[in-house]
Amino acid sequence: MTALNFLRSGVRAVALVALAAGLTQCTAKKPTTAGAQRGGYFDVRAKRPNNPAAVKVHVSTSTQRVYVTEGDRMLLVTPCCVGTATDPTPKGNFRVTAKIANKRRISSPGAGYPMPNWVEFKPAYGFHGGWIHPYPASHGCVRLPWKVSSKFFNLVRPGTPINIAVTQPYDATHARTVTQPDERPTPEWPSSMLNSQQIFQHSGPGHLE
């Protein structure tokens, strides 16, 4: 090998090492989808209704999905977390009876814990933002992803019909259009945030498209 060829080989080797190092750095800095969905950052789109009076809510406890419709138009599909076998989510037909944006749990255990974007459909039962698991894990409420809860809050109003059943007709066509977050072990906010009004701001403005 001539001196010139040897020099060229050395330059190519250095360039390849530098390229590999650069790719490694880019990969390390790029967040994963799973990481972006943890810590309360999971989000889905929601459409603005043309007629708010025509909005209806459908909850499937078997697929842990909430569907918000306006006639034949799907406004929102979101994963949720329903009640366990010992503390089940009530089934049947209900209506929104109250909305409280910045609500905290009153009963114990967990008194004072934030329940943002509370939408009540039965005394002591409601939809609210929280952590989502791929299995029933609430105390009977319908827990929504933190950022989705604000959109749901803006879609409904007192009197909006709600149907909660084991299955819904939309399970076959829409359940798989969103993924079920797996926030295990349950993440938690710092106590300084939990005890402040800042925790309610994290759920976002509830933008409807």
Q: In 3D, which of 94, 159, 86 has the Cα closest to residue 125? A: 94
Q: What pLDDT score was predicted for residue 185?
A: 86
Q: Mind listing the pLDDT tens digit for each residue in 104-142?
A: 988 777 888 899 999 999 999 999 999 999 999 999 999
Q: Are 176 and 124 in contact (CB under 8 A)?
A: no
Over the stretch 75-90, which tens digit does the pLDDT of each residue have? 999 999 999 999 999 9
Q: 47: pLDDT confidence band, cut at 50, 70 and 90?
A: very high
Q: Please give the structure tokens belonging to residue 125.
A: 């039962």
The full 3-state SS of 74-142, as one line of letters, equals EEEEEECECECCCCCCCCEEEECCEEECCCECCCCCCCCCECCCEEEEECCEEEEEECCCCCCCECCCE
Give the domains, in start order, of the chain with CATH numbers.
52-201 (2.40.440.10)
Q: What are phi and psi of 51, to 5 degrees?
A: -130, 95
Instruction: Please give the pLDDT value at position 193.
Output: 86
Q: Strand 98-100 vs strand 118-122: parallel, antiparallel, or unpaired?
A: antiparallel
CB of 152 within 8 A of CB of 208? no
Q: What element of type H or E holds 68?
A: strand 65-70
pLDDT at 110: 80
Rounded-to-integer distance, Cα 140 and Cα 83, Å: 4
